[in-house]
Amino acid sequence: MKEIKKPTETVSIIGYNEKGNGTFLSNGMPWEISNVVEKDVAEVDINYKNREARLIRIKEKSPYRTKPKCPIFEKCGGCQIQHMIYSHQLEYKKRIVEELFKKTLKKTYTIKPCLGMDNPYYYRNKNQMVFGNDPKLKVISGFYVEGTHKVINFDNCYLQDDVTNKIVATIKDIMVKLRLSAYNEDRKTGLIRHVMVKRSFSLNETMVILVTGTEVFPGRNNFLKMLLARHPEITTVIQNINPKETSAVLGNKEIVLYGKGYITDCLGGYIFKISSQSFYQVNPKQTVVLYLTALKLANLSKTNTLLDAYSGVGTIGIFASSLVDKVISVELEKSAHLDAIENAKMNKIKNVRFFNDDATRFLINMARRKEKVDVVIMDPPRSGSTPQFLQAILMIKPQKVVYISCNPYTLVNDLQTLIKDYEINTIQPVDMFPQTNHVECVVLMSRVKE
Ligand code: SAH
């Protein structure tokens, strides 16, 4: 017997759930669907058995939709929400945070409006492009198409600084001229695997990192000469050798081919050394907004001891140093830790002590020694903190905890432990990554238990 096909339904998108999917009601029941914008009218196919809805087409476009600037937006996958007008992107991110807090912490919290940028394009100070070979164009560079090792080629990314875009395009051109091919992962032949460019917007310094599969670099001197002639703004060039079959971009071995091997950036009046390997925030304008937001919420005083956990190159501790008695910073990566020490020296800051340790181990030891801190600012990686770290905080009993998070999912998970003794005072999203679905959030908590 022929299956009777249920007619499709026309629905209005009423909001977003914690995953960022659009929501709508059908027969009084809530449904979710991806790739839609609030106020879209969409034709959908609802599968009641599997509780799944499928988008057929947008019948009426939401006023929050806009034409993406980037011609390869849909193919590339590097950004996800360029089709939303910017003010709605900010609202969207706020809504995701709101829903996540509600779902996980079982309470409706007030979320502050997401702090956005005046110009939400070309904001990244760093790019990272994978190189590949193409029969027609010879050398291509871009991102991997999601879930594959196929490179989508482009010269202009609307999120990356224009200078970094142009340098990568030049490198492709030079490679073709010098008859160099990109690294081939399967055959282990060819030269360049990735190119990373890091810029200091404030001091106009530029670092180019050429990641190669082997140390042998045919035509290296010519390559350098041609690159520097076309981009006098380049202040240092590094060859990083990564022979491994790995998703990590950088290998361990590096040769400085030109300049001092690092760049310096000025952020909020402080200077910071940026090396090839250390973590450094990619949106410098919003980094200042983020740090000043965190410090304002922390409301530090001159008698305070502050713990800056997951401190990277020491930026937050250095920003906070003049507001407190002393700062204790802990960071796992050796290179970031060494940069942090040098950064404090360069800024003539003497009240920050840097520890190169796992933040969890460090905090457990602090708790064992019954050491006290008044305020903790924690800024863990996307995976969040650990249960033991959070337990140690409960034992150390700081008055305030400021949690800076680039992943609201792990944030709300971690908060579940902290809310035993802390109340959530402020939740402030900051848009560090316009056009993408990444959500950064600062949460202020204060201790309620004696
Ligand atoms: N606060 C810094 C860095 C945040 S990124 C800034 O704003 O720039 C998170 C940092 O945590 C990275 O520098 C990473 O190297 C570090 N990290 C990751 N796991 C860690 C761990 N277990 N212990 C301490 N630091 C860790």
Would you state the pLDDT for residue 231? 98
Min mean pLDDT across 136-150, 158-172, 327-341, 377-391 is at 136-150
Would you state the pLDDT for residue 2? 61
The answer to whether the CB of 358 is under 6 A from ligand 1 is yes
One-letter amino acid at 12 equals S
Cβ contacts of 140 within 8 Å, gap of 6 or more? 131, 132, 133, 134, 151, 153, 172, 182
pLDDT category of residue 5 using cuts at 50, 70 and 90: low
On the question of pLDDT at 156 being above 80, the answer is yes
**Distance from C-alpha of 30 to C-alpha of 26, rounded to nearest angstrom:** 7
On the question of pLDDT at 60 being above 80, the answer is yes
Question: How much distance in Å is there from the Cα of 114 to the middle of ligand 1?
Answer: 23
Task: Of 407, 124, 61, give the one whose Cα is nearest residue 281.
Answer: 124
Would you state the pLDDT for residue 176? 95
Instruction: Identify any residues that bridge with 329 across adjacent strands, giving them in sequence order.
Output: 308, 354
Which DSSP letter does residue 215 get?
Answer: S
Which DSSP letter does residue 216 get?
Answer: -
On the question of pLDDT at 3 being above 80, the answer is no
Would you state the pLDDT for residue 247? 83
**Distance from C-alpha of 239 to C-alpha of 241, rounded to nearest angstrom:** 6
Average pLDDT over residues 83-112: 97
On the question of pLDDT at 450 being above 80, the answer is no
User: Chain-centre distance of CA 371, in angstroms?
Assistant: 32
Buried-state track 231-251, b at ≥16 Cβ within 10 A, e below 16: beebbbbbbbbbeeeeeebbb
- Output the pTM of the full model: 0.94
Would you state the pLDDT for residue 449? 72
Min mean pLDDT across 144-153, 173-182, 284-293, 385-394 is at 144-153
Probe target for ligand 1 pocket from 267, 295, 331, 386, with the most ligand atoms within 8 Å of CB: 331
Q: Where are the alpha helices (DSSP H) in 334-420?
A: 334-346, 359-368, 387-396, 408-418
Probe target for ligand 1 pocket from 279, 329, 389, with the most ligand atoms within 8 Å of CB: 279
**Distance from C-alpha of 353 to C-alpha of 307, rounded to nearest angstrom:** 10
On the question of pLDDT at 4 being above 70, the answer is no
pLDDT category of residue 1 using cuts at 50, 70 and 90: low
Q: How many other C-beta atoms are found inside a 10 Å radius of the C-beta of residue 258?
A: 17
State what percent of residues in the chain have pLDDT above 70.
99
One-letter amino acid at 31 equals W
User: Please, how many CA atoms are within 13 Å of residue 385, restricted to the half-sphere of its CB?
Assistant: 29
One-letter amino acid at 193 equals R
pLDDT category of residue 225 using cuts at 50, 70 and 90: very high
Domains and CATH numbers, the chain: 9-65 (2.40.50.140), 91-118+283-447 (3.40.50.150), 126-267 (2.40.50.1070)
The answer to whether the CB of 294 is under 6 A from ligand 1 is no
pLDDT in tens, 355-374: 999 999 999 999 999 999 99
- Six-digit token string for 131: 């190189």
Establish whether 406 is a catalytic residue: yes
User: Chain-centre distance of CA 189, in angstroms?
Assistant: 32
Q: Are 202 and 266 in contact (CB under 8 A)?
A: yes
- Six-digit token string for 156: 């202009």
On the question of pLDDT at 279 being above 90, the answer is no
Q: Are 172 and 133 in contact (CB under 8 A)?
A: no
Q: Are 359 and 336 in contact (CB under 8 A)?
A: no
